[in-house]
Structure 1
Amino acid sequence: MPWRETSVMEERLRFVARLLEGEGMSEVCRAFGISRKTGYKIFNRYKDDGLEALTDRSRRPVRYANQLPDPVEAMIVRLRQEKPYWGARKIRELLVKRLAGDVRISAKSTVHAVLDRHGLVSQARKRNRANKAVGTQLSAAPGPNDLWCADFKGEFKLGNGNTVTP
């Protein structure tokens, strides 16, 4: 016997149809292997919105808790376009002055992230590291204990009786 393919939408439709025929919620939920809470959720969605409610919904949040409001983000972009040499710190300070108390202004890192998201930040140039420092002859001893260094923090007496302090 071949496998029977069904979609989630078809299963929900069969679930609702059995409830509309008069079967009890507990026995229908048991037959479909779902909790009563899920069964009531599906059935109430069907009663409120019809067949459209049985389709899969996006799990994406409706709003993000700490998301910058769109007008503030647009203001950041506009300020950067007006003053292309201003950085995130200066733009943030101007926003704090303009929107004093109306909107909580985020950190300068958030302002920088907005500028970066809109392509308004130029990437820092990387330093050319081709000319690396090369050690002196003293650093290349041919064998162990061939090179001894001393770091003396006191006074040196010279042969002529004078003292040299580093």
Structure 2
Amino acid sequence: GGLGKTTLVTNVYEREKINFSATAWMVVSQTYTIEALLRKLLMKVGGEQQVPPNIDKLDVYDLKEKLKQKLKTRKCLIVLDDVWDQEVYLQMSDAFQNLQSSRIIITTRKNHVAALAHPTRRLDIQPLGNAQAFDLFCRRTFYNEKDHACPSDLVEVATSIVDRCQGLPLAL
């Protein structure tokens, strides 16, 4: 973690959500149940007034069917954030079939999860290079200095800190 996947997608989500009639941001993480995810997603894309009154009693099949109905008639932007297991998407994917104008974005640190996306639709984020990492560190640390320049007496310490952060923006 720490490469900025969620931050990047948050920026895209905030910028693009005005183009969609329904949006949903779902943090998945390592502990989840497919039923809970589907219920939460159905509530987010369906709108509070359109949630089935018996939503807590619906099984996975019925939740997927209700979700499919909602997604078919709406242009939706859905983010599945911090997905660790392919099964999350695989178990939900039939609800996402034949969606013409909706978009699903998945963030993950796992290559096997990213492999579910078509290669032209994947973005592999790499750590920052040394110069970029040093520049980011200086902009954040020396924001009061002219051009955010690192004072010459601190360059060695700053370089050591940047090296320890291994190019991870979150650590910097």
TM-score interval for Structure 1 and Structure 2 normalised by the shorter chain: under 0.3
- Which structure's residues are more often helix, by fraction? 2
Q: State the structure with more CA Rg.
A: 1
Question: So what's the TM-score if we normalise by structure 2?
Answer: 0.20
- Which structure's residues are more often strand, by fraction? 2
Q: Using CA pairs below 8 Å that are at least 6 residues apart, which structure has the higher relative contact order?
A: 2
Question: So what's the TM-score if we normalise by structure 1?
Answer: 0.20
